[in-house]
Amino acid sequence: MARNFFTFPSVTLMTLLEILLVNTRYSQLAPSGLPRSQLFLVIAVANYVFLLLWTTRIYPVFFHPLRRFPAPKINMVSRIFTQLGSSLPPGQALLDMAERTPNDGVIVLQGHGECLLLTKPGVLGEVLVQHPYDFAKPSYARDFMRPVLADGLVIVEGERHQFLRKHVQTGFKLARIRALYPAMMAKAARLVEALGEGEVSSSTGSVVDVSVWAGKATFDTIMAAALGCDLDVLRRPHEPLLKLYAAVLQPSAAAFVHLGLLFLLPPDVVRLLPFDAGRSMREAGDKLRLVMTDLIRQRRAAILSSGSLGDDNDGRVDILSELIKDGFLSEDDMVDQLLTFMPAGYESTASTVSWIMYLLAVHPEWQDKLRAEIRGALPDFPPLSSEDEKPGYDGATLATVLERLPYLNGIVNETLRLYPSLPVTARVAARDTSIAGHAVEKGTEIVLSAWLVNRYTGVWGADACVFRPERWITPTTPESAKDGEKDDDEARFRDGTPNNTGGVAGNNYAHMTFLHGPRNCIGQGFARAELRCLTAALVAAFSWRLAMDPRRAVPVGVIASRPAHGMFLHLERVRR
């Protein structure tokens, strides 16, 4: 592969060496009277101007390994400069490029390593499903996340990934997720209670940052349903574990610098730098490891002492208990997986709850329709109280009811489509391979953007960016509609059935929020179940409207993107 030798680190090193050399021969080299500092400045400026020219004009045209790849090419460096200072949501710049550049599914991004941006189903299927192990996650991203996610599923590659995925999957089987509905609904009911007793207790309602509450609710849910541990952070917001995760996941300047350094330099060099921006993540990771190890030991001891090892019907439905009873993973493997579930699962779901509430605030007609649907399906809503030992519905019944509701599922799917929590992700060719029949060399970086594909008119049509939950509903046919409703479109959607295609039949890769293939989100069934419970509980209990400038309701962050300025809504209790 034609390597790009002139990169920021190599040119910086070159500049330092030149300065050192010139310094030792200063008296021979300096033109008369030019001060040392100015000479050094001239050298540095000359080197970086060369780097700019090399990166934007020389390397892409004459040496870039993808210069002959038959796809449109976009120079990223000039794009980055034109977009400096803009506050576009992550992924929007890629979407704009795809919309403006006629393409067959691949665009070559030049001036930033060797990058292929994939935009359409056929090529997405090749990378994600047909040859998934030809492509790995970039090492800088794995090095950045490893202190917190350990060697969990998100990080590992190849055969190790296949082994872990197979055994972790048992905890996420459909039947297991369905059994978790009562635990999830109990947390949703608890959220409603906590809001009703606190911030929304007055009869006229009040303004609430729902992104904060959504974070507490999803943290509590994943602790209870996945780890079988009831921390109740909705009642006890100062729980140290929540604080620890909130600190680790907060997008900070130090984390940004650390990621940038790992992108430019090998991790061992980054560790030697005098300012260690990754230290706080490593320290947090060490503390979390101790907490998770303790949790697993306690749970294993409880399962052993109750004699239920290998017993699927012992009443323990959480995912950790399932992994322990399954018996295939070592304690260390299990710790790694728990360390991964928490950050992978709670922020992403919390952010989706915020966007569901936002979209229902700016589309109040859908809020009303959904409320009527939930009340019709579950008249005694919430169907259980968090204090209630005996749920009103068992998991399977609750799951069946909620999974069949057309508006609820339409709204959840449409929000996941429009606001994917992971808007951009990347892969690197792990070996020489091909895409769309053209050679792709080992080391080529691939950019995948759910934000782009989910909103691309080339995939979804002209109304790609419009909130239309009815895409996800197959209406009753005029023949099967009830008497008097045959010409009533509204009624045919209300009585319709949820679909998984969003109306783009034959296109398996149109919805990219959870990705596809063996490296897709293993927790998507869990997340969907939780979103159904939280949305149903909130809309049954409250009505709301936006209480912030809509221009500030924008996502930020690439790993678990969230509302940049919170999500302020005016919430009011609704009468039954």
Closest approach, Cβ 83 to ligand HEM, in A, equals 23
CB atoms within 10 A of CB 36: 12
Q: How far is the CB of 197 from ligand HEM (least distance, A)?
A: 27
Distance CA 254, CA 266 (A): 18
The set of residues, in sequence order, having a beta carbon less than 8 Å from that of 168 and lying 6+ positions away, is: 153, 323, 329, 337, 522
Q: Which is nearer to ligand HEM, 352 or 543 (CB)?
A: 352
Please name which of 349, 321, 300, 336 lies closest in space to residue 165, comparing C-alpha atoms.
Answer: 336
Residues of this chain that interact with ligand HEM (CB under 6 A) are: 153-154, 165, 222, 226, 340-341, 344-345, 348-349, 352, 420-422, 425, 513-515, 519, 521-523, 526-527
Q: Smaller CB distance to ligand HEM: residue 183 or 226?
A: 226
| Nearest residue to 348 via CA among 441, 245, 420, 279 | 420
User: Is the Cβ of residue 72 or residue 138 nearer to ligand HEM in the bound state?
Assistant: 138
Q: Which is nearer to ligand HEM, 397 or 520 (CB)?
A: 520
Nearer to ligand HEM, 110 or 409 (CB): 409
Which is closer to ligand HEM, CB of 69 or CB of 346? 346
Smallest Cα–Cα separation from 248: which of 150, 365, 394?
150
Shortest distance in whole angstroms from residue 178 CB to ligand HEM: 15
Query: Do the beta carbons of residue 396 and residue 178 sit within 8 Å?
Result: yes
Residue from 127, 6, 135 nearest 60 by CA: 6
Q: Mapping DSSP to helix (H, G, I), strand (E, B) and coil, where does residue 11 land?
A: helix
| Shortest spacing between CB 451 and ligand HEM, in angstroms | 11
Give the nearest distance from C-beta 201 to ligand HEM in angstroms: 30
Residue closer to ligand HEM, measured from CB, 472 or 514: 514
Q: Which residue number, 109 or 338, has a Cβ lying nearer to ligand HEM? A: 338
- C-alpha 542/C-alpha 213 separation (Å) is 14
Distance CA 361, CA 411 (A): 12
CA 30 to chain centre: 55
What is the DSSP code string of 317-365? Answer: -SHHHHHHHH--S-HHHHHHHHHHHHHHHHHHHHHHHHHHHHHHHH-HH
Neighbours of 534 (CB within 10 A): 28
DSSP per position, 393-452: S-HHHHHHHHHH-HHHHHHHHHHHHHS-SS-EEEEEESSSEEETTEEE-TT-EEEEEHHH
Q: Around Cβ 253, how many Cβ atoms within 10 Å?
A: 8
Please report how close the Cβ of residue 220 comes to ligand HEM at its closest, in angstroms.
Answer: 13
CB count, 10 Å around CB of 46?
A: 12
Least distance to ligand HEM, CB of residue 103, Å = 22
Nearest-CB residue for ligand HEM: 523
521 is in an annotated binding site: yes
Q: How far is the CB of 310 from ligand HEM (least distance, A)?
A: 24
The separation between CA 508 and the C-alpha centre of its own chain, rounded to angstroms, equals: 19
Binding site feature residues: 521
Binding site feature residues for heme: 521
